[in-house]
A = this chain, B = another copy of it.
Amino acid sequence: MAFKTDIEIAREAKKRPIQEIGAKLDIAPEHLLPYGHDKAKVSQDFINSVQDQADGKLILVTAINPTPAGEGKTTTTVGLGDGLNAIGKKAAICIREASLGPNFGMKGGAAGGGYAQVVPMEDMNLHFTGDFHAITSAHNLLSAMIDNHIYWGNELEIDQRRVVWRRVLDMNDRALRQITTSLGGVANGFPREAGFDITVASEVMAILCLASDLDDLQRRLGDMIVAYRRDKSPVYCRDIKADGAMTVLLKDAMQPNLVQTLENNPAFVHGGPFANIAHGCNSVIATKTALKLADYVVTEAGFGADLGAEKFLNIKCRKAGLAPSCVVVVATVRAMKMNGGVAKADLGAENVDAVNAGCPNLGRHIENVKSFGVPVVVGINHFAGDTDAEVQAVKDYVASQGAEAILCKHWADGSAGMTEMATRVAEIADSDQSKFEVLYPDDMSLADKIDTIARKIYRADRAEIDGKLRAQLKEWEDQGYGNLPVCMAKTQYSFSTDPSQRGAPTGFTIPVNEVRLSAGAGFVVAICGGIMTMPGLPRVPSAENIRLNDEGNIEGLF
């Protein structure tokens, strides 16, 4: 029997009208703003009306360092949500929205896989409810207003060489990374160097995902630093008077999107900040709304636990007052083998020794998550070729680390393959054993925060921060930004900054190349290694094969 592809399974979904999905969370139809029959935004009035309700339990799904073998973090998030519903719990899922641009480069961007998916998949990989387009518009309005301010006399005395606010497009377009603008004479302004990032890298995206409401959104937008004067004093978005209009452009985008899983359970899909220069998880407003409406909320964090969970806990939870009741670390037998030195081509053969050799990567993530005071369960996302001996090797290793690993077959079986995990996660969450604490206090110096993450999470000997960067961090502390958390931008493939160092490396340092202040989002970014904020297209972009077929279905996108 041939396996069905994700998109074939998604197209066979028996979707229910979105109003029925809302009803499962007691959202009346008038509080849902529909986008077609299978997507809706939840109205702000309704969100306001449930603020006095008790919160459900928050469950974070994270993973080992990603490998080309695939881990299935989103798939497990969706499967666990369905699994909790299947055992009679009232559960919802919260995940990120997909970026449109990259789907036209490499094959995209499903939301989960197999029988653990969120639908409508096509819409979620295209325009969805327009949130990212709204962010693009808001971001570029500010860009235009900055150059317009300079054009009409530059009353704020902006140093044109020090405009740090770039432009964005939700497109992979390397030609726009570095450009010269305002050529062509007087009517077009003052020529200067500029550039575009991809929309998910916009600070506006990070802010949308951290803001508690529209007032907070506008305040944070106003706080963004867009340029500096010759005396290096900052010019804020508020000085440009763009914050009000940007908030108007974002007012619908701020409302969380509701869709459904293949098993017709509610899923919030909202926001999608970059997981390197930003914190990489869905919006605070979606997570908090879901917690008011469901008894269990399953969410995920980008990349491996060293980056994604660390930021989820140290940035999002810290700032939003959230605390997870349980963390699921997703691992696969295949990824353990790759961490143990097996090449992708050889993953088909049983190799218990390689599984054992790769397990220390998982072990370090377990230990890290525990250090936040949160209970951990390992979910082994089952692949058809995994042998019983290999699965047992992972279970034995995890037991040796004082945790437990549960085999999850949601990809093949949906919620039926997730019963054991769902039951255990609910038990742990209900036991209230989580004693969540952030890794470092607000009042630690910025340099020490970076060093703390490098040593305690990555297990580096230290972070290397040169004198110039330390002076910059000190300057921000003097300006009142010292209490912000730090957002680490580092490769996701290794605990170190060398993507080829799989497993659990030691004896390395974390060189910090650059620091950036996201004053509106509320974090300081430490860039460790090369970080690309505008991707390019490959030699043969998938766009060349994307088309509507004779039945009107999209081909080539998945």
Whether B541 pairs with A148 at a CB distance below 8 angstroms is yes
Of B130, B172, B179, which one neighbours A183 at CB under 8 angstroms? B179
| Assembly CA distance A536 to B149 (angstroms) | 11
| Assembly CA distance A261 to B277 (angstroms) | 46
| Assembly CA distance A309 to B547 (angstroms) | 36
Whether A173 pairs with B147 at a CB distance below 8 angstroms is yes
Main secondary structure on chain A at its contact with chain B?
A: mixed
A170, closest chain B residue (CB)? B137
What residues of B have a CB within 8 angstroms of the CB of A183 in the complex?
A: 178-180, 193
Closest Cβ–Cβ distance, residue A142 to chain B (whole Å):
9
Whether B537 pairs with A148 at a CB distance below 8 angstroms is yes
Closest Cβ–Cβ distance, residue A453 to chain B (whole Å):
29
A44, closest chain B residue (CB)? B552
Residue A518 lies at the interface, judged by CB distance under 8 Å to chain B = no
Residue A501 lies at the interface, judged by CB distance under 8 Å to chain B = no
Whether B141 pairs with A171 at a CB distance below 8 angstroms is yes
Residue A96 lies at the interface, judged by CB distance under 8 Å to chain B = no
Whether B179 pairs with A180 at a CB distance below 8 angstroms is yes
Show 27 residue pairs from A and B whose CB-CB distance is below 8 angstroms, ordered by the A residue. Answer: A34-B34, A34-B35, A34-B36, A34-B37, A44-B552, A100-B137, A104-B245, A126-B248, A127-B134, A133-B137, A141-B171, A143-B175, A144-B175, A144-B537, A145-B541, A148-B536, A174-B189, A175-B182, A177-B182, A179-B182, A183-B193, A214-B552, A242-B544, A244-B556, A245-B547, A247-B548, A251-B554
Of B133, B143, B175, B251, which one neighbours A548 at CB under 8 angstroms? B251
| Assembly CA distance A183 to B183 (angstroms) | 14
| Assembly CA distance A315 to B434 (angstroms) | 69
A247, closest chain B residue (CB)? B548
What residues of B have a CB within 8 angstroms of the CB of A140 in the complex?
A: 169, 171, 173
Take A34-B34, A127-B130, A556-B244 as given contacts and tell me if A175 and B152 are in contact as well, using a CB distance cutoff of 8 Å: no
| Assembly CA distance A190 to B99 (angstroms) | 26
| Assembly CA distance A248 to B548 (angstroms) | 6
Whether B143 pairs with A543 at a CB distance below 8 angstroms is no
What residues of B have a CB within 8 angstroms of the CB of A412 in the complex?
A: none
Closest Cβ–Cβ distance, residue A180 to chain B (whole Å):
4
Residue A539 lies at the interface, judged by CB distance under 8 Å to chain B = yes
Residue A97 lies at the interface, judged by CB distance under 8 Å to chain B = no
A215, closest chain B residue (CB)? B548
